[in-house]
Amino acid sequence: MAERAMGELLRVVMVLMLLMLAAETEAMSSRRGNKRGKEESSRSGEGDSMSFCLSWRLAVEANNVVAWPTVPQQCSQYVETYMMNGQYERDLDLIVEEILGYVNQTLLPPDPIDAWILDVDDTCLSNIFYYKSKNYGCDPYDPSAFRKWAMTGRCPAISSVLRLFSILVDRGFKVFLLTGRDEESLGEVTKNNLQNQGFVGYERLILRSAAYRGKSAVKYKSDVRKQLEEEGYRIWGNVGDQWSDIKGDYLGNRTFKLPNPMYFVP
Amino acid sequence: MAERAMGELLRVVMVLMLLMLAAETEAMSSRRGNKRGKEESSRSGEGDSMSFCLSWRLAVEANNVVAWPTVPQQCSQYVETYMMNGQYERDLDLIVEEILGYVNQTLLPPDPIDAWILDVDDTCLSNIFYYKSKNYGCDPYDPSAFRKWAMTGRCPAISSVLRLFSILVDRGFKVFLLTGRDEESLGEVTKNNLQNQGFVGYERLILRSAAYRGKSAVKYKSDVRKQLEEEGYRIWGNVGDQWSDIKGDYLGNRTFKLPNPMYFVP
């Protein structure tokens, strides 16, 4: 009996040790110190794969890897874990705290021309449940399925950004929501979605007009920001999950890149 | 006896479980899903602290957190592990692979005006051993100690960047090494250091002249790049570990941000 119990315990110990190996991380997996061919060798083990996916995500967020069509297949599980198990929210929270620190430094109270620009998709509203059905970005872009999702008008608010939004509005900033969504087909539903998620009190929701269909987000958003500056607005901050939200012209005084490891908008 | 052995085993199991808790990572630590006050709560446990440090580093690398004077104290161990246990090199390798992919796309062979710009400190040459003595960036900036370190002329090459450098030179690109190091006091030793680490064949090493002492790196480096374009060079790529290397004017066709969680240069 005692021997069987000890056998059981030994098995538990073995399982725990295997779990520890599987849970290898930046801190744990990197001891191997291999120097080249990471992408290839990363297929050889879970630790290597996570290590590659960490590198890949960092390179994406720092705008080194650009125009990537889909998440690398080997990073599907990694991106799911990142998005669903809390780290994504923590990353957002830290950036929003940084933005609020900057807001508190700048000016109080704002003039009527003092403005902020926020992107919509995966900045104010989350598409995480849609991307869950697309293997967290490993499946190719599917514009008609995305439209169907957006048409439901049920994209949930990203809570830390909703908090930022509310503070900006309460302080008296003019908040412009600037989205690449098509004005004609998604204008009404987007307005309702924002409303039902608590985005109330913004100055203007600006959607992509027919003239900008097929144009890059950098061109479209730069033109809109130029127009706002010509109207007399002073852009204090510009927040988006894509580099195309915060590149180009008339960017404002400071830009903030929210994480998004699921897709790239040119 | 059997009971004592089982007791031992139980202790082993307990210790293993505690170790697993301590090894919590992005993947593991994030289940708690707490939403606010991360920086504060992160002091409550190692998993939370790593989770905070991951968020902090991502925000630094995406240029959301700016003008930070030192690494947060709680991230000293995290930054050490990141820098010393392989992940830093893997992150560099992935970016260098991305750069080489871009190099291979662009043009072949280059014209005599086709240029690249590389920063020096923590781009070509590593200061990791110096920062090791400064608690990996948790200690305040110490200009005289840094000068003493640089004066040794023994900063090691960053191997993946040396590889990139050699390929660029071999392909026929004009490579400009552009550094914020003071020309008068560090010019000679930097030249020798680059040489003894294998950086041979570059077009020009450009150091900070007396006129730019105390000026921001963005201003100084923008002016130099402008000068190079006026000389007729076409900047294909611009590589640095600081955002101040790749912000400002005349940035070139593409910029690349190498990781550096140890310090911030304005």
CB-CB: which of A13, A30, A32 is closest to B9?
A: A13
Does pLDDT of A227 surpass 70? yes
pLDDT in tens, A153-187: 999 999 999 999 999 999 999 999 999 999 999 99
Query: What pLDDT does A5 receive?
Result: 54
Strand order across the beta sheet in which A234-240 lies: A204-208, A174-182, A114-118, A234-240, A254-257
pLDDT in tens, A108-134: 788 999 999 999 999 999 999 999 999
Per-window interface: A 200-229 vs B, CB < 8 A: none
Query: What pLDDT does B107 receive?
Result: 67
Per-window interface: A 25-64 vs B, CB < 8 A: 25-36, 38-39, 50-52, 54-56, 58-59, 61-64
Query: What pLDDT does A50 receive?
Result: 93
On whether residue B88 sits in a domain, the answer given is yes
Does pLDDT of B36 surpass 50? no
Query: What pLDDT does A47 receive?
Result: 78
Picking from A66-70, A169-173, B44-48, B59-63, which range would have the lowest pLDDT averaged per residue? B44-48
**At A36, is the pLDDT very low, low, confident or very high (cuts 50, 70, 90)?**
very low
Mean pLDDT for all residues in chain A: 87
- What residues in A contact B94, CB-CB < 8 Å? 38-39, 52, 55-56, 59, 65
The pair of three-digit structure tokens given for residue A238, joined into one six-digit string: 């510009």
Does pLDDT of A239 surpass 50? yes
Tell me, what amino acid is at A52? F
Mean pLDDT for all residues in chain B: 87
Does pLDDT of B15 surpass 90? no
Per-window interface: A 107-146 vs B, CB < 8 A: none
E strand or H helix at A27, and its extent? helix A26-29
Does pLDDT of A228 surpass 80? yes
Distance from CA of B72 to the nearest CA of A (A): 13
**Cβ contacts of residue B70 below 8 Å, gap of 6+?**
B137, B138, B139, B140, B141, B263
Does pLDDT of A3 surpass 50? yes
Size of interface A-B (CB pairs under 8 A): 182
Is the model more confident about A61 or about A105?
Answer: A61
Is the model more confident about B18 or about A86?
Answer: A86
Q: What percent of chain B has pLDDT over 70?
A: 82
CB-CB: which of A31, A65, A81 is closest to B86?
A: A31
Query: What pLDDT does B5 receive?
Result: 54
Query: What pLDDT does B44 receive?
Result: 47
On whether residue B89 sits in a domain, the answer given is yes
On whether residue B47 sits in a domain, the answer given is no
Does pLDDT of A31 surpass 90? no
Distance from CA of B186 to the nearest CA of A (A): 30
CB A100 within 8 A of CB A237: no
- What residues in B contact A44, CB-CB < 8 Å? none
Beta-carbon separation of A28 and B33 below 8 A: no
Taking residue B40's Cβ as centre, other Cβ atoms within 10 Å add up to 10
Does pLDDT of B51 surpass 80? yes
- DSSP sequence for B169-214: HHHT-EEEEEEEEEHHHHHHHHHHHHHHTT--S-SEEEEE-GGGTT
Name the residue among A40, A266, A16 with its Cα closest to residue B94.
A40
The DSSP output letter for A156 is: P
**Cβ contacts of residue A26 below 8 Å, gap of 6+?**
A51, A54, B25, B26, B54, B81, B82, B85, B87
Does pLDDT of A37 surpass 80? no
Is the model more confident about A14 or about B68?
Answer: B68
Query: What pLDDT does A11 receive?
Result: 54
**At A19, is the pLDDT very low, low, confident or very high (cuts 50, 70, 90)?**
very low
Query: What pLDDT does A45 receive?
Result: 63
User: What are phi and psi for residue B91, nearest 5 degrees?
Assistant: -60, -45
Query: What pLDDT does A256 receive?
Result: 98
**At A14, is the pLDDT very low, low, confident or very high (cuts 50, 70, 90)?**
very low
On whether residue B220 sits in a domain, the answer given is yes
Is the backbone peptide bond immediately before A109 cis, with ω within 30 degrees of 0? yes
Query: What pLDDT does B24 receive?
Result: 39
Query: What pLDDT does B26 receive?
Result: 39
On whether residue B53 sits in a domain, the answer given is no
pLDDT in tens, B186-218: 999 999 999 999 999 999 999 999 999 999 999
Instruction: Identify the bridge partners of residue A257 per DSSP, sorted by sequence position.
Output: A240
On whether residue B180 sits in a domain, the answer given is yes
Does pLDDT of B145 surpass 80? yes
For the segment A251-258, the average pLDDT, to the nearest whole number, is 97
Strand order across the beta sheet in which B114-118 lies: B204-208, B174-182, B114-118, B234-240, B254-257
Full residue range of the structural domain in which residue A221 is found: 82-257
Distance from CA of B265 to the nearest CA of A (A): 17
Query: What pLDDT does A20 receive?
Result: 43
User: What are phi and psi for residue A125, nearest 5 degrees?
Assistant: -110, 140
Distance from CA of A141 to the nearest CA of B (A): 22
Query: What pLDDT does A7 receive?
Result: 54
Sign of CA dihedral B176, B179, B183, B186: negative
Instruction: Identify the bridge partners of residue B13 per DSSP, sorted by sequence position.
Output: none
Domain count, chain B: 1
Query: What pLDDT does B8 receive?
Result: 55
Determine the Cα–Cα distance for residues A213 and A209; give it in Å rounded to an integer.
Answer: 7
On whether residue B52 sits in a domain, the answer given is no
Does pLDDT of A24 surpass 80? no
Query: What pLDDT does B13 receive?
Result: 46
What's the CATH number where B151 sits? Answer: 3.40.50.1000
